[in-house]
Amino acid sequence: MLAMLELDATDHPMNLPEGFDSYLQGEFPKHGHKWRGVPYLYFPVFSRSHWYAVEVDIANSTMFIYNPDKNCSTDDQIRDDLKPMTTILLMLLKKINIVIDALAIERITTTSKQSNS
């Protein structure tokens, strides 16, 4: 498991670009869902010519990184890749009154690896 990624929400402004509220309210994309009450969030990450998946367990303040290829990214590289996304995610959650001070990051390497390019 990667170390805790400490992000102090007070260090970041709450002024998000116009349009982010439409995501939180489920108005965008077309078949969106309100974020309030959603237990998990999922998003892809592309870094260093490699894709991996991220699952955020909001209730347990944990990000699960599904990346079976240990040779593509080190733990430090993954942590660096996730900093901007984590900052924005914590800001969005704070807007709907879900305050998370830090997210634990756990790398899952037991998933199957895509064999074709």
pLDDT digits (tens, 9 = 90+) for 60-96: 999 999 987 777 788 888 888 888 888 888 888 888 8
Indicate if the pLDDT at residue 13 is higher than 80: no
CA distance 111 to 53: 11
Model confidence, pTM: 0.76
Contact present, 14 and 110 (Cβ < 8 Å): no
Domain residue ranges in the chain: 2-29+39-108
Contact present, 90 and 9 (Cβ < 8 Å): yes
pLDDT digits (tens, 9 = 90+) for 93-109: 888 888 888 888 898 88
Which is higher by pLDDT, 71 or 52?
52
pLDDT, position 1: 43
- Residues 15-43: what's their mean pLDDT? 82
Strands 2-6 and 40-47: unpaired
Would you identify the CATH topology of the domain 2-29+39-108?
A: TATA-Binding Protein (3.30.310)
Least confident residue range of 11-20, 21-30, 61-70, 98-107:
11-20
